[in-house]
Amino acid sequence: MSCFNFTRYHSYNDIMDYPNMKEYLKVFFSENNLELFPAELRHLPLALAEQTAASPWEGTFAEVTNQLLDAVQTVLDITDSRRRRCISLWDEEMDWTPEQEKKGGKASVFLLTPEYRKEERLMCGKGADDGSREARPAVIICPGGGYERVCFSGEGNPVMNYMEAKGYAAFVLKYRTAPERYPAPQEDLAMAMNYVREHAGEYGADPHNVMLIGFSAGGHLCASLPCLCREIAKKVRMENGREVLPEKIRPDKLCLGYPVITFGRECHEGSFQALTGGEESMREVLSIEKRITSDYPAAFLWACEDDTCVPVSNTVRMGAALKEAGVRYEIRTYPSGGHGCNLAFGNSARLWTEELIRFMK
């Protein structure tokens, strides 16, 4: 198998001409982001095009090209080197493809895996794991998107790469969003937790050290699972005929970045509408700060004070609830960075990644 790489010396057109690349990038980068590249610059090397193109955010266009290259590498890891897989969680015998995405529903759900090491599989010349490696901590990353989409480009691929560099076996979940409603995303995350624990040995991961990282609405998704694991396990069994145990789908620790927490005062109303269809009886049930108990997992929370999308009060309320319940936690609020800053390397929240790693040791 070849292990081709695209660089900043390639153009947007070079990338889109690669077989099947555009269809995969609609998920791993998004169609909206692809439209950010001006047509008149698409023939130029990315390094040159980014000198002229304008970013819709405050940063430089280099951030957009960096995210594109991250997404492209992820696609190549799946389709070319076969280093990663997209496991269809509701049918583990098959891998997800863009054709599955078009079907929607459970067919669109997948777990992007780290390097897959079964005895019969080779990746770019590397042999199967001989069991000599020490088990790594595992992390499942849930990008945000207001329960309307899953934003791989900022909160999926880059965070996955960072956590792998820090020694984690990193997975990314593509979960169901609107028009699918609660508990569909929670069921998908439950299936992801169950998969990682059952297959941990194939990825050199520790099944007893699984963290969830969630951003924005993905933060709500991750924060909700420890509170709802018994209910979700029962729903999966009753509605889908799949047997999952509450203890297998409960995470060992959490990281919540600028998370949606409450559906009461100062909530992100869009997430509530997308997740529940506006079902008012679910506001209290799915306001996570009201569901915290003493056995809730250790949690690292962070947000930016200038976030005009999801009020920072969501993070503060969650911290207060954890403190009252006696749960180990750390909360960080940064003066700037807004919403959706993911790794935040270019603003005041840039230290959250190192502070997370320190907290979780």
pLDDT at 121: 38
Give the contacts of 337 (CB within 8 A, at least 6 positions apart).
304, 306, 307, 344, 347, 348, 349
pLDDT at 133: 60
Q: pLDDT by residue (tens digit) across 3-47?
A: 679 999 999 999 999 999 999 999 999 999 999 999 999 999 999
**What would you measure as the largest C-alpha separation in the chain, in angstroms?**
57
Q: With 70 as the cut, is the pLDDT of residue 152 above it?
A: yes
Share of the chain above pLDDT 70, in %: 94
Phi, psi of 246 (to 5 degrees): -55, -40
* Domain 86-360 -> CATH class: alpha beta
Q: Where residue 358 falls among pLDDT bands split at 50, 70, 90?
A: very high
Q: pLDDT by residue (tens digit) across 309-353?
A: 999 999 999 999 999 999 999 999 999 999 999 999 989 999 999
Is the pLDDT higher at 120 or at 71? 71
pLDDT at 117: 62
Taking alpha carbons only, the member of 220, 149, 232 closest to residue 184 is 232
Computed from CA positions of residues 98, 155, 111, 18, in that sequence, does the dihedral angle turn out positive or negative? positive
Q: pLDDT by residue (tens digit) across 158-173?
A: 999 999 999 999 999 9
As given in the structure block, the two tokens for residue 44 are: 């130029």
Q: With 80 as the cut, is the pLDDT of residue 244 above it?
A: yes
0.85 exceeded by pTM: yes
- Mean pLDDT over all residues of the chain? 93
Q: Where residue 118 falls among pLDDT bands split at 50, 70, 90?
A: low
To which H or E segment does residue 208 belong?
Answer: strand 205-215
Phi, psi of 168 (to 5 degrees): -95, 150
**Domains of the chain, residue spans:** 12-79, 86-360
Give the contacts of 206 (CB within 8 A, at least 6 positions apart).
135, 136, 137, 138, 200
Q: pLDDT by residue (tens digit) across 39-53?
A: 999 999 999 999 999
pLDDT at 55: 83
Cα distance between residue 225 and residue 235, in whole Å: 13
pLDDT at 240: 82
Q: Where residue 54 falls among pLDDT bands split at 50, 70, 90?
A: confident
